[in-house]
Amino acid sequence: MATPVKRIEKEFLFKALYNENYHVKCHRNKTDYTLFLMQPVDEKMVFRYDKPMDNIKPKSKLQLMFGYHGQTISFMAEVDSLKDNLIICQTPEMLYKNLGRSALRITAPNDFKALFTFKGEQYNLPFPIVNHYENDYFSEILKEKDSNKILEIIDSTVDKIKKYANGYKMVSFKDYRPQIMEELLLCETCKALFLPSTQGTFPKEDPYTKKRIITEEIFKRYLESTGVTALDTAVSDFLKERYNKDIFSDAWVPILFQNYIIGYIHIWNNKKTNPPFNLDILDIMYELTKILCYSLEANGHFKKTKAPNTPFEGKIHDISMSGLLFSYPSSSFSVILQSTDELKATIATPNRDIETLVRITRRFREGDSNFFGCKFIGMTSEDSDCLSESLYGKDFEEDKDAIIFSG
């Protein structure tokens, strides 16, 4: 993954770029250009180019790269002015290294468009909408099993849970709206309230790659949003309240389907002799939530609320042979797009429409828009050749100068 360069290293790289006369690569309108830094970097960067650059003017943005000791350094520079054969750019705030791509990234051509759709069916359900989108990764495993087998799996999974806990409850939000703090907390965070021991503390860290636990920091942020000021006292009181009710281990796991929270599973221990909860029980609970959602969909419980999976257009900002960056106005719709989500994409180029899957690898917000960095998945060789021709105007695989290796 691309790593921002820290300030001291950034200053060092700029000095090396000038003192050692490294060349900087730029690709625009299917043409490669080489730029040379003409003076030390201060508030401006002054480049000389090896050949005239077409359609460049003040405010144009150049995606630039240079190699330094086996690493590829990338940055975006905005053109400030042009003079003779010089380009004067504003010095960028950020440089990036350890690029997670294998191909030169360029500003998207004006005649490129990208349409995206969600994978699978979409629904308008009578459940609370959350700022989260959950893919059903169990569907491939379970779809070959008949309904009786699914029920057996659910029963056996519940039995596993009851070996850890002597209190078990499942709550649906279909005819009941979230009311108590724990329920509102699940809806707000879309994560599990997991307290292995109420005599201990909230989890300080979340060990999962795809974060799923409400840590102490997240809990305090939630309390703060509700107007609580004495945060440490509130956390301590929250745990003491459970302990005084003879709840010695506690876990609440949301049942998430697409961008809805359907309900939750709540388990607890009220015997001191029982061991504290561990991550194994949490894994089983999450497994059960996925199986329940699959069973509901497979048995047609959502059929009457099926919604059209209408494509939405994202504005492409830059693109390479390995992925693209697009933006979409900030809204309840764009908020649900999360890292690791996969979308179907149609990239319209002058030559043909390219169909592929994309996986969101990073997201961030600037102003009124959400930005999504995506990786192409399973693109055919024919579409890859077409994209190469449309972006670079040549066979990309044979042009070794265009290939940028990650650090």
Q: What radius of gyration do the chain's Cα atoms show?
A: 26
Res. 135 pLDDT band, cuts 50 70 90: low
User: Could you give the CA distance from residue 321 to residue 403 in angstroms, rounded to a whole number?
Assistant: 10
Averaged pLDDT, 48-60: 84
Give the pLDDT of residue 396.
43
pLDDT at 386 over 60: yes
Give the pLDDT of residue 399.
46
Highest mean pLDDT among 86-100, 140-154, 354-368: 354-368
Averaged pLDDT, 19-25: 87
Give the pLDDT of residue 188.
94
Q: Are 329 and 103 in contact (CB under 8 A)?
A: no
* Residue labelled with tokens 């997991």: 194
What's the angle, vertex CA 351, arms to CA 349 and CA 355, rounded to 5? 55
- For 127, counting Cβ atoms within 10 Å of its Cβ (0-12 exposed, 13-18 middle, 19+ buried), the class is buried
Averaged pLDDT, 253-264: 93
Res. 63 pLDDT band, cuts 50 70 90: confident
How close are the terminal C-alpha atoms of the chain, in Å?
Answer: 10
Give the pLDDT of residue 136.
62
Q: Two tokens at 397?
A: 């695989």
CATH class for the region spanning 132-305:
alpha beta
Give the pLDDT of residue 330.
80
* Residue labelled with tokens 């087998």: 149
Res. 279 pLDDT band, cuts 50 70 90: very high
pLDDT at 333 over 90: no
Single pTM value for the model: 0.64
Residues of the chain with CATH 2.40.10.220: 113-120+309-402
- Give the HSE-up count for residue 314: Cα atoms under 13 Å, Cβ half-sphere: 31
Percentage of the residues of the chain whose pLDDT score is greater than 70: 89
* Residue labelled with tokens 């005649």: 111
Lowest-confidence pick of 157-166, 276-285, 313-322: 313-322
Phi, psi of 403 (to 5 degrees): -80, 130
Averaged pLDDT, 67-74: 80
Give the pLDDT of residue 143.
60
Residues of the chain with CATH 3.30.450.40: 132-305
**Topology of the domain comprising 113-120+309-402:** Thrombin, subunit H (2.40.10)
pLDDT at 2 over 80: no
User: Could you give the CA distance from residue 68 to residue 186 in angstroms, rounded to a whole number?
Assistant: 47
Res. 404 pLDDT band, cuts 50 70 90: very low
Give the pLDDT of residue 151.
85
Return the H-helix or E-strand segment holding 163.
helix 147-164
Instruction: Give the tens place of pLDDT for each residue, 216-225.
Output: 999 999 999 9
| Helices (H), ranges, 230-322 | 231-244, 279-298
Instruction: Report the SS3 class of residue 134.
Output: strand
Instruction: Give the tens place of pLDDT for each residue, 31-52.
Output: 778 899 999 998 899 999 888 8
- CATH superfamily, domain at 3-99: Electron Transport, Fmn-binding Protein; Chain A (2.30.110.10)
Q: Which residue has the higher pLDDT, 89 or 131?
A: 89
